[in-house]
Each structure stands twice: as C-alpha cells, then as structure tokens.
Structure 1
Amino acid sequence: MTYTLHIANKRYSSWSMRPWVLFKALDIPFEEKLHFLQEDLAEQRRDYLTFSPSAKVPTLVDNSNTTLVHDSLAIAEYLAEDFPAVWPSDKLARAFARCAAAEMHSGFPAIRNECSMNVALRIELGTPSEALQRDINRLTELFNEGISKFGGPWIAGKEFSAADAFYAPIASRCKTYGIQLAGPAGEYIDRLYEHPAVQAWVEEGIVEAGILARYEADCIQGRKVLKNLGEQQILDFLGL
C-alpha cells in the first residue's frame, strides 16, 4: 500500500485516532502499524524513534516517495494534496473546518488533562472544574456555529472532513465521562460517535490487549467507574 500509518493504542491514543478515522471515513487504503504504549517511557522512546523522528504518534509514511509526516494536522494537510475531500470544497466552509481542526490540535487543555481518552470505560465525572466547563462551553459554541452556518450534518457541511475526524476523540470522551452538549452540538457529537469509522476504532480499542496501569489511573483519577466495556481484557491484564 502507498501509505503506512504508525499509531499507538486505540484504547488511549486520541492523536492516533484522528488520521486513522480520516483514512477510514474517506476510504483511503493504508497499512496500520500499531505500537503499544509502554510503562517504561525510555524504552518506548527508543522504540518509537525507529519510525518517528519525534518519537511520537501518529506518523505517516508515504511509501511511494518515502515521505515521512509526523504530526496529525500535517498528515491531514499532506493527504489533502491528493485527496481534496479531506477538506470541504466550499472556501468558507474549508476555512472554518481548518480553524476548528487547528483549535482542537492546540487547545482544550482541561478536557485533555481531566478527561483522558479511554474508549472502554464509563466514568462518573461529577461536577466539572471551571476550566473543564469552559472547554465544554467552547465545544458547544463551536459545534453549534458550524452546524448553523453550513447546515450539517457535519461540522462544516454535508461531507465528513478532517475537522470531524479531529473531534472524534472528543465524541469518545463525551461518552466515557457522560458529558452532555446542548442543542445541535449534542446531536452532532452523537452522530460523530456513531460514524462507522469512529465505531471501528472504538470497537477495536475495547478488545485491545495493551492495557497500562498508569493510563487507566490517569483516566479514572479516583472517580467512580460505572462500566468497563472491556472487562475481560482488564481481568486478563490482572491475571484473574
């Protein structure tokens, strides 16, 4: 295949999820290379340096010309050179979609820190912190604006784009932590979560073997786990 996409655990890796979902949603053939995250960070870095100069995922290799692209947003832009459907065809919608993807790429620190991605768990969030509530409010505002301006069903119009792929991990987080968005934003996040490409990632992540104690603890943060969709995988991990 022309493209090889290096990713980390589907259970945890929001950064990997974005380009993977984009490839799947646009039906672009690619080969997946899964590299489990490791408890030993030094060993993980040595492993990841064998395919990524930043020792991070995702990393895309274009096998047709050996080009290596090691950033999720850069991967989207690289694909757009050959697959224009990565972004909306309308100029205004395309600008909005690029802004939305860039905002996700660099922003929303509270939801990243307080609601780490774990596709298999359902966690009782409790009362959001002020910072987390600001992120939730901004997500609601952004999604409502996109749907209102461009008519939906996706964030910038009728066609699924990179902007939607970039918010796929947010859809997963909303399900994990029971975060409800108001108005069309809530309907959008439900629609995004049910997209076949997003569901394929989630379903594979639930049954994935590479469970790490530190990532589980970072997701739970002392909160109540309401449900574990991958219960057997946890039992296997604990040797029970």
Structure 2
Amino acid sequence: MLKLVIGNKLYSSWSLRPWLVLTAFGIPFEEILIPLRTAESRNQMLEYSPSGKVPTLIDGDVTVWESLAIIEYLAETFPNLEIWPRDRKARAHARAISNEMHSGFQALRQACPMHLGARFATPPITEALQASIDRVEDIWSEAHNRFAGAQTFLYGAFSAADAMYAPVVMRFDGYQIPVRESTRAYMDAVLSHPGFVAWREAALAEPWSIPDYASGHTLVESFV
C-alpha cells in the first residue's frame, strides 16, 4: 500500500495537496504524520525522505517528495483516474497554474500562513499581497470560464489543480480576504468537498499547536 508522510494538518499546506488527491480519488494509502517543529521532526522526516521535509510518498522502493511531483506520480500510476483533466488544453492549463502555485505567491504565503484552527482579522493589504490575490482570482476565473462549464470546480470535476489551490482557499477564508462573488462560490465548493472536510476535522482534533503560525495576526475566532 502507498504511504504518505505528512505534517500537522492544522498547518501543513503542502501535505494537504497530495492527501486531497489520494482521498478525493479513492486511492488507498497509509498516513504517517510527523509533527512539525519538534526536536525530532527533521530526523524523523529523514527516515522517509532525503529532503528531510514533508510530504513524501512511498510506493515500495519508490520515494517521491514535493507535492506536485507526488501528484504527477499518482497521475501516472493511476491513468484511469482523471487526476488531471482529460482534455489536452485543459490539462495543459491545469498543469501551468499548478506550477505557478508551486513556485509563486510569496506575499500571500507570508501574510497569511495556513492555520485551520482559527479565523483572523484581515491583514494589511500591501501592493504585493493585492497582486497575489488578484492573480489567484484571475487564474480561477479564467480556468472556470474556459473549462468548467456549469460544474463547480476549476475544470469541472475536482482535479489536481483544485488540490493545489486548496490551501489558498483556506488562506482567503481564514484571513477574511475580500474576494469577488465568483471566487467566494468556488471557495465554498472546495471548503465543502468531503476530502477537505475530513482533513479539517482531523486537524481540529490534533493535540499539537505551533504558536508561531498565529504570531502577528489578530485572532477573531478559535476553533481549537
């Protein structure tokens, strides 16, 4: 059976992405959770991954680290599943925006760390942060308008691209970022997806907390 090594579900946005793909497409796997930022974290992660980071997928003698690489491996391993859109143009677009997510949006990441256990006041919207927000909304709007038809997710059915952007949905929601009506509708669809609901429920039951993730932010509501 596949093994997926992840970090705390409250905070580990990169772990969420491949976990959502595995869960959404019904791929059986064993979850191995290593708490982040403990004295033992890095050594424990090095037992599974040469990077010493999570997530890591283990499939027999194959080890894959980095969220997007894991998702691509899953798509190759299970070609019968529509992890990426079947349509060539939609698939190319989905991969492009997923790679952009993997490497970009630093202002958003820094201003709004993923924290599923709380809701915070909206941070100061700097020019850089607004640029990230605008770009994400434009990406979602273009993907949905071009490829989704009357369906809910970016390319119609839930895909790897939705999994890649799920932590951004949580950031927008958790920090009460002002967004367009169409953006809010897409966010609500992701937040109500059974895979995300299961992840969040497990996150709120975790016994660990990392105060640094809330540092510098005004708490509005705590869920843990």
TM-score for the superposition, normalised by structure 1: 0.88
Deviation at 1:38, TM superposition (A): 2.2
Secondary structure of the 2:57 match is strand
Is 1:93 the counterpart of 2:90? The answer is: yes
In structure 2, the partner of 1:25 is 24
Is 1:181 the counterpart of 2:179? The answer is: yes
Percent sequence identity over aligned pairs:
42
Amino acid at match of 2:74: L
- Which of 194, 200, 203 lines up with 2:201 in the alignment? 203
Distance in structure 2 (CA, Å) of the matches to 1:52 and 1:38: 16
Secondary structure of the 2:202 match is helix
Q: What are the ranges of 5 or more consecutive residues in structure 2 without an aligned counterpart?
A: none
- Which of 53, 60, 80 lines up with 2:75 in the alignment? 80
Map 1:121-200 onto structure 2 (within 5 A): 121-150=118-147, 151=149, 152-156=151-155, 158-200=156-198
Deviation at 1:228, TM superposition (A): 0.3
Secondary structure of the 1:144 match is helix
Q: What are the ranges of 5 or more consecutive residues in structure 1 without an aligned counterpart?
A: 231-240
Give yes or no for contact 2:57–2:63 (8 Å, CA) kept in 1: yes
Say how many residue pairs are matched.
Answer: 220
Distance in structure 1 (CA, Å) of the matches to 2:211 and 2:100: 30
In structure 1, the partner of 2:45 is 48
Deviation at 1:205, TM superposition (A): 0.9
Secondary structure of the 1:86 match is coil
Amino acid at match of 2:203: G
In structure 2, the partner of 1:68 is 63
Secondary structure of the 2:63 match is strand
In structure 1, the partner of 2:115 is 118
The two structures, once aligned, show a CA RMSD in angstroms of 1.3
Distance in structure 1 (CA, Å) of the matches to 2:13 and 2:50: 19
Deviation at 1:39, TM superposition (A): 4.1
Deviation at 1:125, TM superposition (A): 1.5
Deviation at 1:226, TM superposition (A): 0.6
TM-score for the superposition, normalised by structure 2: 0.94
Distance in structure 2 (CA, Å) of the matches to 1:224 and 1:216: 8
Secondary structure of the 1:227 match is strand
Give yes or no for contact 1:180–1:186 (8 Å, CA) kept in 2: no
Give yes or no for contact 1:39–1:212 (8 Å, CA) kept in 2: no
Distance in structure 2 (CA, Å) of the matches to 1:184 and 1:224: 27
CA displacement 1:180-234 (0-9 Å, x = unmatched): 32142221122111111111111111121111222332xxx1x32010001xxxx
Amino acid at match of 2:131: R
Distance in structure 2 (CA, Å) of the matches to 1:38 and 1:210: 10
Distance in structure 2 (CA, Å) of the matches to 1:180 and 1:193: 17
